[in-house]
Amino acid sequence: MAFDGQRFYVSYLDTSDRDAAGPFVGHYCPNVHLAAFDRDWNLVEDVAVTSFTDADQRFTGRPWVILHDNRLYVSYDMDELDPDTHQERLETQQAFVSIYELTQNP
């Protein structure tokens, strides 16, 4: 989480794309999001950083956010899924960073 004096910024995994069985059984496709909240924790904006589907055979994890010089840096890792077992192929894991510049609200 980061705070700029006006807003709280949270990076998280959206796990809504999953089977009814739960996030760790069967179909599970987490995507990284960045959400902004006001001082009273009312949601201001929620941005999808990634938008993978089952067909992409990608798996994201461990997002974090840091604020530096009016920019939000959202880091996360991603690896490929084995097409047969749907298990993470950890040897393919890479780290990514998405950068969002904060603008003044009118």
Domain-embedded: residue 106: no
Q: Print pLDDT tens along the chain (106 aa).
A: 999 999 999 999 998 876 665 555 556 789 999 999 999 999 999 999 999 988 888 989 999 999 999 999 999 999 998 888 878 899 999 999 999 999 865 4
How many domains is the chain built from?
1
pLDDT of 106:
43
Domain-embedded: residue 54: yes
Q: Of the candidates 81, 74, 94, which has an alpha carbon nearest to the alpha carbon of residue 33?
A: 74
99 φ, ψ (degrees, to nearest 5): -115, 130
Domain-embedded: residue 41: yes
Q: Tell me how far apart the alpha carbons of residues 89 and 84 are, in angstroms, rounded to a whole number.
A: 11
